[in-house]
Structure 1
Amino acid sequence: MQQNDISHLLPHQIYSALETNPIAWIPLGAIEWHGWHAPVGLDALTASGLCQHAANALGGVVLPPLHYGAFASIADHPWTILLDREDSDIIVRLMLKTLTRLESLGVKKAVILTGHFAVVQHDALAELQQQWQSKWRALKLIILSPTDCPDLPLDPDHGGLFETSLLHSLKPESIDLTQIPNTPIEETNPAGIQRRDPSHPLFGVIGADPRALDPAQADQLRDHLLDWIIEQAKI
C-alpha cells in the first residue's frame, strides 16, 4: 500500500513513478475525536488510504497526509486539534506552496482528497481552487471530497457508520467497536445534542450507529468511492 508514498521513496523511484503518470495525490485530514472506537487521525487515514489505492491504479506519487483540518462543531471534544475558523487560510497557503513547488518539479496534475468534511474546510478548498485557477498553470488541480460522490451507499457522517465503514475497509485493525459500551440506544436524531454528552455511548459520533458495521458493505463503499475518485482524476 505504501509503494507510492513519497516519504518512503528514493529519488529515482519518485522520478520513475512520475514518468509513468505525472500526478501527485495529496490527502488531507485532521486530528479529531470520532468516538471511542476510532482513531483521532481517521480523516487523514481514510484520505491517505484512498489516495494509495487510486495511485496504485493510475500511477503517480502520494504525499504524506496533512493532519491539520479547519474548524468544525466538535472542536471542543477531547483530543481534537483544529484550526480556528479565522485561521483556515493557513490551509490555503500551505497548499498553494505545495502545488507551486510540485508544478516546478514537473508534476502535471494534483488531486487533493480531503477526509475532513467540515464546512469551513470545504470553503477553504474552494478558495484554494479559485486562487489556483486565477492564472495560467501548467499543473491541473482537482479537489475532491467523498461527500461529493454521487449515489453513496451510506450517508456521510462524523465517526458514524459511514466513516467507520470506510476506515474499516482500508485499515480494519484501526477500528475497535468493542470500545463502545454494549448499550441499546433508542433515539430518533443521530445528530442530536445527546451525542455531545460524554456519558452517551456514542459520544462524539454524529451519524448512524457504527456498531451496525457490515464488512461487505464497507468494502462496497470503498470501491464505489475509488471508482469515482479514479474517474475524476482522469478528467
Structure 2
Amino acid sequence: MEKAPIAWIPLGAIEWHGWHAPVGLDALTSSGLCKLAANDLGGVALPPLHYGAYASISSHPWTILLDQEDCDILLRLLLKTLSRLEELGVKHAVILTGHFAAVQGEILNDLKEAWESEWRAMKLIILNPDSCPNLPIAPDHGGLFETSLLKSLEPEMIDLSELSDEIIEETNPAGPQRRDPSHPLYGIIGADPRGLTESHCKEIREHLLTWMIDEVNAARS
C-alpha cells in the first residue's frame, strides 16, 4: 500500500456455465486477473464478491442472482466497501466485473455516478471486459471466451471432457436452443468452448491484463 495505494475489487456471480466449468466462474476470472494486475502494478486484491445482478439465464440450475428489486443491495455493498477503503488510505479503487449482464453494467454506472457526486480522496475505476477493445474473442457466458480465460488462470477448474462430442451446426450460438437442458451445450451462450487452444487462453489473458493496467495507469496520471 505504501508503494501503490490501489485496491483491486473483483466481482462475479453464482451461475451455471455448462457441465465443463464451475459455478462461480465469473468471480474466479475477475479475481485471477486482479491478482495478476496487483502483482504487476501494485496494490492489494480483495476477495471476490460472488453475487451479481439478474440476467437471461436466471432460471438455470445452480444460478442465484439478485432480482431487479434487490439490485440496490449490491450498490449499497459496493458503496460501503469504497467508503471504507477510502478511510484506509486507498487512492485508486479498481472494480473488475467478471459478470457481463447488462443490469450489472447499469449498477456499476450508477455506482460511479453516486461516488463522483461529491468530492472524494479516492478515485474509482470500473472495468468491464465487455467494453475492452480489440478482444480476439467476444465475451460470452461459458463459451470459448470465458472458458479460455479461466483455463489460463485456473486450469484445473475446466474439464472439457464433461461436454458431449456431438457435432453441432448452429447459426446462432446464443440462441434459445442453448437454454434447452437436452442441448449438448446447455447453458453455454457463445462460441463453442470445445475449440479452445492454449494460444486462445494466453492471448485473452494477456490482452485483458494489458488493458487493465493501461486503464489504471491512465487514471493515475
Q: CA deviation at 1:156?
A: 0.8
Distance 1:178 1:102 in 2: 42
Are 1:233 and 2:216 matched, yes or no? yes
Paired residues in the alignment total: 218
Name 2:202's counterpart in structure 1.
219
Name 2:38's counterpart in structure 1.
55
Superposed, 1:13-162 pairs within 5 Å as 18-162=1-145
In structure 1, list runs of 5 or more residues that go unmatched. 1-17
Distance 2:69 2:189 in 1: 24
In structure 2, list runs of 5 or more residues that go unmatched. none
Q: CA deviation at 1:86?
A: 1.9
Q: CA deviation at 1:85?
A: 1.5
Q: CA deviation at 1:182?
A: 0.9
**CA offsets, 1:142-193, max 9 Å, x none?**
0001111100000111000000011111111110000001111111110111
Distance 1:217 1:30 in 2: 24
Root mean square deviation, CA, Å:
0.6
**CA offsets, 1:88-131, max 9 Å, x none?**
11111001000000001111110000000001100000000000
Distance 1:192 1:70 in 2: 21
**CA offsets, 1:6-43, max 9 Å, x none?**
xxxxxxxxxxxx00100000000001000000001100
Residue identity in the other structure for 2:160: L
Are 1:173 and 2:149 matched, yes or no? no
Name 2:171's counterpart in structure 1.
188
Q: CA deviation at 1:216?
A: 1.1
SS at match of 2:74: helix
Tell me which moved more, 172-181 or 84-93: 84-93
Q: CA deviation at 1:218?
A: 1.2
**CA offsets, 1:46-91, max 9 Å, x none?**
0000000000001111110000000011001000000001211111
What's the TM-score, normalizing by structure 1?
Answer: 0.92
Structure 1 stretches of at least 4 aligned residues deviating more than 4 Å after TM superposition: none
SS at match of 2:126: strand
Distance 2:110 2:94 in 1: 16
Q: CA deviation at 1:137?
A: 0.1
SS at match of 1:152: coil
Tell me which moved more, 85-94 or 34-43: 85-94
Identity %: 69
Distance 1:59 1:219 in 2: 22
Name 1:209's counterpart in structure 2.
192
Distance 2:183 2:68 in 1: 27
Distance 2:44 2:194 in 1: 35
SS at match of 1:70: coil
